[in-house]
Chain A
């Protein structure tokens, strides 16, 4: 892995966003819409349900912020690839001295930057608008964020691998893949709200432990390190498996000439 190569690929991405501010809408507008909708829903429910409402309702805002970290990290990886497809630059990149590790490393950095930007914005706005302080999680916030980043990267690699394998027509997967898992990820409700069969699906997703943990920590101040350990272990397996899938699909793409098809469409 070459840091210089990663730096160059990230620089290209930064140029892209500073050159075309309209792209910032994607980074600012949708997260803001989600925050406003879920934030005011929380305010409404708090006003009209009194103390009898389940505690999770106050943490919908935290869920919006943490989900956005996962989503932006996934997008960073998947959109990074699509940017080259859209600009017919893919062959220039893959004909350059860029290894799979360099390429993936740069997508991770971009995913991190996207997640950091939007989650910081959401954290500040949620404090100002709803007096919700995500930093009440204190140091426990770091492993939660770390786990969501890793899972986002893994989902991003899976999304990209599927797009490479199935061609440009599958590019909508870049946005769809996170939402395939969202109903089972315990983002806005606890795992126990799901039917038993689907609870097993939830338990196979590392992010469900993070969202459950976030609710518990905000409620009681206690960090469930065992669940966090399970999430971290599962995340490392997901990341490794996604990496293997990505490399295998790239090898298939080279065998079948799929990368050149992206340039001719």
Chain B
């Protein structure tokens, strides 16, 4: 059996008395897209930051390509990349300058050609010489994605990549994500509040609530488990649940049966 590309085991993070991520475990196989879902404050971004080594876990482990992240962080990061709606590339640099800097940081071979490729892939090649700070929100997000794809990452972490995009561009981004998985076998961890994103691109989902994993499975398995019609319904129900038991047991807080 192939070693999972990403193995997260009992990952825990406490900030003082607050437990942001509580013994979270999941694996992602090569070429799989796993959706990490949950309301604001569920612990998704903290989990991603621990996978990147930006936050040190209180407990548990992160293994990437079978190696412990904290033992070989720099080497592993060369094979990974990430894109987050919470970050930007320096606004005073031109688009190609930003990509050149990050391409060098990730030691991308044939960098000039690769920059042209990723810009064309995200359909912003006409913006190559534009100043990054002058781009629209959607163009900026696509530039972030270009940065994330530069080094042909084997493991790609996408933190709400379609958050600021209009439906047309969001659709294009989803197609790009699916395409790089299909063509390059990229393994992707994908967080989103847009359940359409998740239904369209993710093979499996992990539902988090208040730092814990509620459920892991395919979209269909998730719907069956929660007895809901759509992932959006599951999301809303989980988000509105006062505690983990009511969120995961199939009974809502008010005692009513969930919609079926």
Contacts and interface: CB of A to CB of B under 8 A. Distances in A.
Contact of B101 (A12, A255, A260): A12
B102 interface: yes
Contact of A7 (B56, B93, B104): B104
Interface string B15-39: 1000000000000000000000000
A95 B15 contact: no
A4 B93 CA distance: 20
A97 B92 contact: no
Interface in A10-66: 11-12, 15-16, 19-20
Which residue, A15, A87, A92, has most C-beta atoms of chain B within 10 A?
A92
Contacts of B147: 92
Given A87-B88, A91-B84, A8 B104 contact: yes
Contacts of A12: 90, 93, 97, 101
A16 B93 contact: yes
Interface residues of B, number: 35
A94 interface: yes
A89 to B, nearest CB: 5
B86 A263 contact: yes
Interface in B145-173: 147
Nearest to B20: A257
**SS class, residues of chain B in contact with chain A:** mixed
A98 interface: yes
Given A16-B93, A87-B91, A96 B77 contact: yes
Given A8-B101, A9-B105, A96-B102, A91 B56 contact: no
Interface string B67-110: 00000001101100010101111111110010011101111000
A89 B88 contact: yes
B54 interface: yes
B9 interface: no
A19 B87 contact: no
Nearest to A87: B90
Contact of B107 (A4, A9, A251, A256): A4
B255 to A, nearest CB: 37
A253 B102 CA distance: 23
B77 A95 contact: yes
B53 interface: yes
Nearest to B91: A87
A20 B92 contact: yes
A95 B88 CA distance: 13
20 contacts: A5-B105, A9-B101, A12-B90, A12-B101, A15-B93, A16-B93, A19-B131, A20-B92, A83-B90, A91-B87, A92-B147, A95-B77, A96-B102, A97-B74, A97-B75, A97-B78, A98-B105, A257-B15, A257-B49, A260-B46
Interface of B: 13, 15, 45-46, 49, 52-56, 74-75, 77-78, 82, 84, 86-94, 97, 100-102, 104-107, 131, 147
